[in-house]
Copies of this chain bind each other. A is one copy, B any other.
Amino acid sequence: MILHGYWRSSAAYRVRIALNLKGLHADPVAVALRHDAQHDPVFRALNPQGLVPVLQIGQATLTQSLAILDYLDDVYPRPPLLPKADIDRARVRALALLIACDIHPLNNLRVLQYLTGPLALTEEQKCAWIHHWIAEGFTALETMLSTSPQTGRFCHGRTPTLADVCLVPQVFNARRYACDLEPYPTIRRIYETCMILPAFADAAPEAQGDAEG
């Protein structure tokens, strides 16, 4: 397996965590987003979206981090990233999608570049945008986590799931932009619990070979 990623990409970070949880190895290939390597024709041939991560397995090329996570969970079911009961799986998927659809894509590099490029927003307006969408998402997520009896040590019960795999990179991203995480004690607690595990710690951006100072 080859994982085309970028140290600071939340979506690539998710895949690194899942690979680690399942004890799998993928050779990392760094796609330098800061230098527009994702727009290189060779990379675009691999993924017409020009986004990371891309996971190559034999002749197959997988895109979209959540599709990759589901694939890994289908093919390497131990330990599972989703609970057994249908209704529990729906809860875990909803928590993961809240982050993956309603927070992360709004604060992605290409969107921030559109804000400061064509829309000519100031750095301050860009930061307010980032903070706004993280606060919107985290406020709802905190309520959902703190009021559900199904929340345990992790987002769902006593083992990491797809929801935690999405939560941790989003908290990393929020910290990077100096978001105030004080209003989200459950999110912070679960993040800290995850980061004790080597699968999460070893996947952290600063632990990657292409990390910049």
Interface residues of A (CB under 8 A from B): 47-51, 60, 62-64, 66-68, 70-71, 74-75, 86-87, 89-91, 93-94, 97-98, 100-102, 104-106, 110-111, 114, 118-119, 121, 125, 128-129, 132, 136-137, 139-140, 143-144
Contact = CB atoms under 8 A, between A and B. Distances in A.
Given A105-B102, A105-B106, A111-B106, A128 B121 contact: no
A90 B119 contact: no
Given A71-B89, A106-B106, A66 B101 contact: yes
A30 to B, nearest CB: 22
Chain A residues touching B, majority SS: helix
Nearest to A62: B90
A102 B49 contact: yes
B106 A63 contact: no
Contacts of A114: 129, 132
Contacts of A140: 47-50
Nearest to A82: B70
Contacts of A94: 62-64, 67
